[in-house]
Amino acid sequence: MKSSLLLALAVCGLLMPRTAQAVACGQVDDFEDGTTMGWTEGPISPNQPTNVANGGPSGVGDNYLRNFSSGGVGAGSRMVMFNTLQWAGDYLAAGVTRIEADMANFGATALSMRIAIERNIGGRYGSTNAVALPADGQWHRVTFDLTSADLSLISGLATLNDVLANVGELRILSATAGPTWQGDAIVATLGVDNITAVVVGDCDVDGDVDLDDYADFEPCLRGPGGGLAAGCGCADLDCDNDADLRDFAALQIALPGGP
């Protein structure tokens, strides 16, 4: 009986690691295509994210994603949504060390926004500190850094770099108590727009941009149109698939004491 159950789960794909997609420098979920762009609460939730055609940060005609949580218990009760498509992949190779987004709290209670990531075959990390999102119905630009200074282990034995190199799922959630995978059970309505993968030049993923990062950056310089060598995603600060003087200028600005 047990072997039959395991076989059935394998056939359904439930025991197989998810295939990592290609998270990319500068990618943006702006929801202007009228879809949810793969964001979901899971198949059994009655409160699936919805695409709203007006009212984003730019006002009339600016689509955004709205997510509702009902509070209490059961599916749809928690403020959490996730993506296993374009936000899966190798963040280290892409050089992505930050996620930014526009968020608005349309509910009556302040939210404590975090992200959480899961490795394809286990290991979860989440935001150590929450971003306070007031219940004011206004759009706010929020930032989540993906470094050891900003993410804490939720479960598993994988290192943060192991997870960042094999992300299978990205979650956006509200949780007051600390890093978590589930989010709080709360009656709330969240607006999200312009979710962006950002490269900041933190090549050693230690939470700052300094001369150690320049040492990693310098061998990657190939000039305009020169492409990117393996491991040089962090050097492409302008997301044009090369490491050139424009990227170096951006790195100089990011360095302490930069112009």
- Both tokens of residue 110? 């302040």
Q: Over the Cα atoms of the chain, what is R_g?
A: 19
User: How would DSSP label each residue in the chain?
Assistant: -HHHHHHHHHHHTTTSPPPP----TT-EE--TTSS-TT-BS-TT-S---EEESS-BTTBTT--EEEEEEE-SSSTT-BSEEEESSTT-B-HHHHT--EEEEEEEE-SSS-EEEEEEEEETTS-EEEESSPEEE-SSS-EEEEEEE-STTTEEEEESS--HHHHHTTEEEEEEEE-SSSS-SS--B-EEEEEEEEEEEE--S-TT-SSS-SHHHHHHHGGG---TT----TT-GGG-TT-SSS--HHHHHHHHHHSTT--
Residue extents of the structural domains in the chain: 17-198, 211-254
- The CA distance from 143 to 101, in Å, is 7
Residue 217 pLDDT: 86
Strand partners, 198: 98
Taking only the tens of pLDDT, the chain with its 259 residues reads 434 433 333 333 333 344 445 899 999 999 999 999 999 999 999 999 999 999 999 999 999 999 999 999 999 999 999 999 999 999 999 999 999 999 999 999 999 999 999 998 889 999 999 999 999 999 999 999 999 999 999 999 999 999 999 999 999 999 999 999 999 999 999 999 999 999 877 787 776 888 888 788 889 988 888 887 877 878 888 888 788 888 888 888 878 866 6
Of the chain, the end-to-end C-alpha distance in Å amounts to: 67
User: What phi and psi values does residue 71 have, to the nearest 5 degrees?
Assistant: 75, 180
Q: Ramachandran region of residue 6, left (φ > 0), alpha (ψ -120 to 50) or beta? A: alpha
- The CA distance from 193 to 103, in Å, is 6
Burial class of residue 204 (count of CB atoms within 10 Å of its CB; 0-12, 13-18, 19+)? middle
Architecture of domain 17-198: Sandwich (2.60)
User: What phi and psi values does residue 142 have, to the nearest 5 degrees?
Assistant: -120, 155
